[in-house]
Amino acid sequence: MNVAFLSDICAVMVQGEESFVAQHSTAVLYAVVAVVILAAVLIKWRTGSDEEAGHVIVSSPTQQNSALKRISIITGISNIKAEDHNFSLVGFEDFASLLFVQYHESLGLKTVKAVQPFFNYELSNNSNFVFSHVVIESVSLYDIRTEKDTIYIVLEFAANYLSKVRPATDITTHREKCIERWLFSRNRKYTSPQQPEPLGSLSGFCNDWKVASVNLVSSVRLDEKPKPFFDTLPPVPATDPAPAKVKDLQTMFCNYHRGEYSGFSDFCKVTAAPCFLSLWRNFDKCGWQKPFKCVLSANVANMLKYHHNRLHDLGLTPKITDMNITEAKVMDYIADNFFESITVEIEFSCLDYVADQKGKVQAGSNTISKNVTAQVTFATPHRQAFDRKSEFIVYSLLTIHK
C-alpha cells in the first residue's frame, strides 16, 4: 500500500468542515487511528513476507556522516573482539564472498542445497532466475551491532553476473550489475575457531554465522561496449567510512607492533608502489597473475579475468602502459589475530585503452594519459614483527572519484 496515499487520506479526513469535526470528533479520531494501524499492519506483513522469501528490495539510504559511521563500525568490531578474540574481519569477508558466489550460482538449481546450512530460511530451487559467471567488484562493511543475544553484521556487495530469465517459452540472457546487502547473524554464545582454515574455505571463519536476509538495493543491465580497464573499475562504495587520521593509524599500528611505526611509514614506497606497478606490467598477456611481492584475492583475480575474457571474446585486447605514480599514502589499517590489512590511496597516470588485432584503438587513448586515483587494500597474515618484505594479498581494488 502506498504510504503517501494513506497520508493524503488522513489529511482529507482531518481537514473536513469544522462543524463536522466538532460534531463527530470521536468518530474521526477513531477512523484516523484505524487507518494508520491498518497501514502499519500491511507494511509489516509485506516486509515480513519478502524477508521470508529471502529477497527484499530496499531503497538506498540517505547520506550519513562518514566520521560517525567510522566510529560506529570500529566500535562494533571492538565489541565483537572483546567477546570473540579470534574474530577476523578479513576472514569473515572472504567467507561471505565465497558464499555470495556459490549462492547466486546455485539459486534455482538443485545445488542450492549445498549452501542451505548457511541460511536461516528455506532456499528455493524453483527460481525463474539463474545466475552464472559472478564477479564481485567490492565488499564493504555497511553496519555492525550487538544486541542482547545476537551479533548482526551487514555487508554490502557490488557485483555483476550473467542473468538468465526463464519464461515459459524462451530464455533471455544479459549481464547485470547489482548492489546487495546481506544481513548475517550469530548467537553471542558462539566464538570463532582458534585455528581457522586458510582463506578460500567456507568453513574457515564462518563458525555458526547465518544469513538472515538478502536485500537487493539496485540492479541495472550492463553496457557491453568495450571500455578501458580503469573506466570499469568499481568506485569506493558510498557506504565506506571516512579514512582515519594519520595519528590514529600510528596508534593502531603501534598497538600491534610495539612502536615499530618507522617500518610501517615506508610501506607505500617499499611495497605498495612496486606491487601496484608490477600488477600492470604485461597486463595484456595476463601478467597480473603474480605481481611483485603480492598475490591477488579471488575477487580481484576474477574481476581482471572477466575483463580480459570479455574483450578477448570480441577479438580485442586491453592495454595499460606508461604508468607513473605521483603519490601514495596510507589511508586505513586493520589488524586481528590472523590478518592485518593496509589500505593505500594511489594517484597515478597511465595510457589505458583497448586495441583490436591490428593494433587500432577501439576505446580509450594510446597517446593521452589519464589521471586516476585508486584505493588498494593489501592484506597479509598477522605477525608480531611487521615485515614489509612479506608476501601481501591485493585484497581489493577500487577507484576514487574526486
Alpha carbons 344 and 236: distance in angstroms, whole number: 12
Residue 266 CB partners (closer than 8 Å, separation 6+)? 388
List residues bridging with 346 in a β-sheet: 328, 374
**Phi, psi (5° rounding) for residue 334?**
-135, 135
Alpha carbons 279 and 149: distance in angstroms, whole number: 45
Which three cell numbers, joined as nine digits, stand for 33? 487511528
Are the CB atoms for 214 and 55 separated by under 8 Å? yes
pLDDT in tens, the chain (402 residues): 433 433 443 343 333 333 333 444 444 334 434 433 444 433 333 333 333 333 333 444 444 456 677 778 878 888 898 899 889 888 899 899 999 999 999 887 888 888 999 999 988 777 777 888 899 999 998 999 888 899 999 999 999 998 887 665 566 778 899 999 999 999 999 888 887 777 777 776 676 899 999 999 999 988 778 999 999 998 988 777 777 777 777 777 777 776 666 667 788 888 899 999 999 999 999 888 888 888 898 899 999 999 999 999 999 999 999 999 999 988 888 888 888 888 999 999 999 999 999 999 999 999 999 999 999 999 888 766 666 666 788 999 999 876
DSSP-derived 3-state class of residue 59 = coil
The count of other CB atoms within 10 Å of the CB of residue 58 is 14
